[in-house]
Chains A and B, each alone.
Chain A
């Protein structure tokens, strides 16, 4: 079952309308669209621009600046691995490299079966429990290969 809905112009318009009266509505709207559709498709950029009476260039500029606003759908599950210094000090890079090597993907890529996207992130604020990760929004501290293997199995439903 997909976690996110297919692109739906009417639904998107309702989401935009629900946030349009906020001061500085663009980021809240983009986040809400991301929560609904799992990514920011081209149609969304055009629609947000026209509903807020801004240029498409402005919305495109905002979307493309931030790492979170992915333009294509991610895999069914998303694993964010911290790549910052505190996690480096606890062997994070080696653990991450060996996982990516085994999955035969690079940072930001999705496994060919569409099960798992692995992204790098700079700090999750779990620096006293390093190395750390965020799996579908759930924090995981003191990760090792065993733990990551368990996550990969879970993501693949095996």
Chain B
């Protein structure tokens, strides 16, 4: 029976993958062709979705992007045996977009059936946990430290050090929490991974639980990701049935249980302290640190809270060794970074590469420039709290320290491309508007500052006393940076000031108008 692989992640579905799968099934029945449709995650080459891969002796042969009107001819051209057709792409592994990548965290995504434990095992799954079960807790933590893995959520804190703090905390209970509240615009790696390879996250959290002495974990998923939530919840059930979760993980006699929790549409809950409050059922208000969550976290107990991609990378590190992971990368940014290329770009998608690749390689070589065909004017790196960089700065390498030195941040590795029609003063205004809408309200610099920021930007855009208002803007940004309780208020000045620094012409277009008081 021919096996046909069709992605069912939210992005592929958004482009019509479910309909294509249905039509292929129906057409095969009509023609009397035996066929098994295997739902997968996406490989992350979104301009080719809906994409279909067919299993042949030469490997999986891909066709895409497929529309309903292409199907009759695909069958006529015998695509089920890999026949030639204008949409035939050959093996995806031979496509430069994939061939040039170094997929460690995303090695299985788009290849395996996300809800098949057997498929996961057949593709190297649970090798990491098996190895971890032979190690002392400290040895596991040392392996993570050796790998140089840093928090992929954005802060880039060394994961091994966090693990060490939780390991040495004394308590009757500890928790492992996965931050899957991926709210940054331009990022979708967490979503892709949960929808395409959920067991890697489960395995990573299980390793963490066994290493740090926690018997319970939570995955907090934003409600904007209903598909990821369903896939993850179902995968947990399957892992339990297979004995990979439960009272005796893999027969070790050691317990680890997992539950999913659904967010409720608050961006701030991606901040770790807000997230913990939210799991506890409260308003997602930021807690002041210290105490750190590693000491006093969820329900007051020591809690390891890591990003989805950090935890999903743990199995690879345990299976292949910390040193093997650290061999990738540059400077203090070790390993690979799943870059998410999005916005106004021809070939958007997921690009996992060792740290140190330049933005130009990503935007131009991988991305092929803008979707509109116009020149690139700006890229925003690292989500709504990340800086806007002009096209002239695209030669910067992607690593934590380089971008920080340029007053930006790498964040969760999202890059949003804008063409020359974008107005950066409008983007700066939006940064404040977004902060005003999503601020938890606990600290004044963020709660009030964001609203004042919108007002100041409105005056600047209208040409009201620009010199005075630029001064107010800078003063406000300094205050928010220095005095906000968390990154929401503290980093909102980053997109604002970067827009002002790199695109001053966009802020000085309006004819001067007298101040309202005149």
Residues in A neighbouring B341, C-beta threshold 8 A: 128
Identify which of A23, A68, A122 contacts B264 (C-beta below 8 A): A68
Known A-B contacts A127-B416, A140-B14; A85 and B430 likewise in contact (beta carbons under 8 Å): yes
A118 contacts the other chain (Cβ, under 8 Å)? no
Asked if B487 is an interface residue, CB under 8 A from chain A, the answer is no
Contact A139 B281 (CB under 8 A): no
Is A125 located at the chain interface by the 8 A CB criterion? yes
Q: Are B191 and A125 in contact (CB under 8 A)?
A: yes
Chain B residue contacts of A26, Cβ below 8 A: 280-282
Nearest-CB residue, chain A, relative to B372:
A90
Which one of B77-85, B224-232, B460-468 contacts A?
Answer: B224-232
Binds B, one of A5-13, A98-106, A109-117, A130-138: A130-138
Give A129 to B11 CA distance when docked, in angstroms.
7
Q: Is B15 among interface residues, defined by CB-CB distance under 8 A?
A: yes
* Cα A61 to Cα B442 with chains together (Å): 13
A-B contact count (CB 8 A): 161
Residues of B within 8 A of A140 (CB): 14
B414 touches A127 (CB 8 A): yes
Identify the interface centre among A25, A126, A132: most chain B CB within 10 Å of its CB. A126
CB of A136 to closest CB in B, whole Å = 11
Q: Is B125 close to A, CB under 8 A?
A: no
Instruction: Output the least CB separation between A155 and chain B (Å).
Output: 18
Interchain CB contact (< 8 A) of A27 among B281, B340, B345: B281
- Smallest CB–CB gap between A103 and chain B, Å? 22
Q: Are A65 and B186 in contact (CB under 8 A)?
A: no
Given A31-B262, A61-B282, A90-B371, CB of A126 within 8 Å of CB of B10: yes
Contact yes or no, A24 B280, CB < 8 A:
yes
Contact partner of A23 (CB less than 8 A), chosen from B11, B13, B224, B299, is B299
The A-contacting residues of B in range 213-249, CB under 8 angstroms, are 216, 223-228
Q: Which of A67, A123, A125 contacts B266 (CB 8 A)?
A: A67
- The docked-state distance in angstroms from the alpha carbon of A132 to that of B186 is 12
The smallest beta-carbon distance between A128 and chain B, in angstroms, is 3
Q: Which of B49, B264, B430 has the most CB of A within 10 A?
A: B264
Q: Is the CB of B261 within 8 A of A134?
A: no
Instruction: Name A85's contact: one of B282, B285, B371, B427 (CB within 8 Å).
Output: B427
A55 proximal to B (CB < 8 A): no
Q: Mark B407-445, 1 if CB is under 8 A from A, else 0.
A: 000000010111100100001001000100110100000
Is A73 positioned at the interface, with any CB of B under 8 Å from its CB? Answer: no
**Range, interface on chain A:** 35 or more
Rounded to whole Å, the gap between the CB of B298 and the closest CB of chain A is: 8
Q: Assess the B11–A141 pair: CB atoms within 8 A.
A: yes
B453 within 8 A of A: no
Closest to A121 in B: B224
- Given A27-B262, A28-B261, A139-B14, is A68 in contact with B223 using a C-beta cutoff of 8 Å? yes
Is A50 in contact with chain B by the CB < 8 A criterion?
no
Q: Residue B349 at the A interface, CB < 8 A?
A: yes
| Residue interface bits A55-77, CB-to-B below 8 A is 1, else 0 | 00010011001111100000000
A132 in contact with B279 (CB, 8 Å): no
Is B36 interfacial (CB 8 A cutoff)? no
Q: Point out the residues of chain A lying under 8 angstroms from B49, CB to CB.
A: 129
Give the Cβ gap from A8 to chain B, nearest Cβ, in Å. 22
A150 to B265, CA, bound (A): 26
CA distance A42 to B469 in the complex (A): 44
Asked if residues A128 and B284 are in contact (CB atoms below 8 Å), the reply is no
In the complex, A95 has a CB within 8 A of chain B: no
Across the two chains, which residue of chain A brings its CB closest to B49?
A: A129
Whether A96 sits at the interface, judged by CB under 8 Å, is no
CA A85 – CA B499 in complex, angstroms? 14
Contact A65 B343 (CB under 8 A): no
A124 within 8 A of B: yes
Q: Which residue from B188, B264, B284, B348 sits with its C-beta under 8 Å from A31?
A: B264
With known contacts A67-B266, A134-B224, A128–B348 Cβ distance under 8 A: yes
CA distance A84 to B190 in the complex (A): 17
With A and B bound together, what is the CA distance between A86 and B340 in angstroms? 11
**Complex: A132 Cα to B279 Cα, angstroms:** 28
Instruction: Tell me if B380 and A85 are in contact (CB < 8 A).
Output: yes
B53 at the interface (CB under 8 A from A): no
> Please, which residues of chain A bring their CB within 8 A of the CB of B280?
24, 26
Interface string of A20-58 (1 = CB under 8 A from B): 001111111011000000000000000000000000001
For A87, A123, A126, A130, which residue has the most chain B Cβ atoms within 10 angstroms?
A: A123
Is A125 a contact of B371 with CB atoms below 8 Å? no
Give Cα A85–Cα B284 distance, bound, in whole angstroms: 23
Q: Is B267 on the interface with A (CB-CB < 8 A)?
A: yes
Any A CB within 8 A of the CB of B200: no
Tell me the minimal C-beta distance from A39 to chain B in angstroms. Answer: 13
Indicate if B182 sits at the interface (CB-CB under 8 A). Answer: yes
Asked whether, in the complex, the Cβ of A66 is within 8 Å of the Cβ of B265, the reply is yes
Task: Please name the residue on chain B nearest to A87 by beta carbon.
Answer: B185
B284 touches A90 (CB 8 A): no
A122, B434: Cβ atoms closer than 8 Å:
yes
Nearest chain B residue, comparing its CB with the CB of A141: B14
Q: Are B185 and A84 in contact (CB under 8 A)?
A: yes
Instruction: Give 1 or 0 for each of B22-51: 1 = CB within 8 Å of chain A CB.
Output: 000000000000000000000000110100
9 contacts between A and B (CB under 8 A): A24-B280, A62-B281, A65-B266, A90-B343, A122-B183, A122-B434, A123-B224, A128-B188, A129-B46
Return the 10 tightest CB-CB contacts between A and B, nearest first.
A26-B281, A128-B348, A84-B185, A127-B342, A141-B14, A66-B264, A67-B265, A139-B14, A89-B343, A65-B283
User: Which chain B residues have a beta carbon within 8 Å of chain A's beta carbons?
Assistant: 10-11, 13-15, 46-47, 49, 182-188, 190-191, 216, 223-228, 259, 261-267, 278-285, 299, 340-345, 348-349, 371, 380, 384, 414, 416-419, 422, 427, 430, 434, 437-438, 440
Extra contacts, 5 of them, besides A127-B340, A128-B340 (Cβ < 8 A), are A121-B224, A122-B434, A125-B182, A128-B348, A142-B14
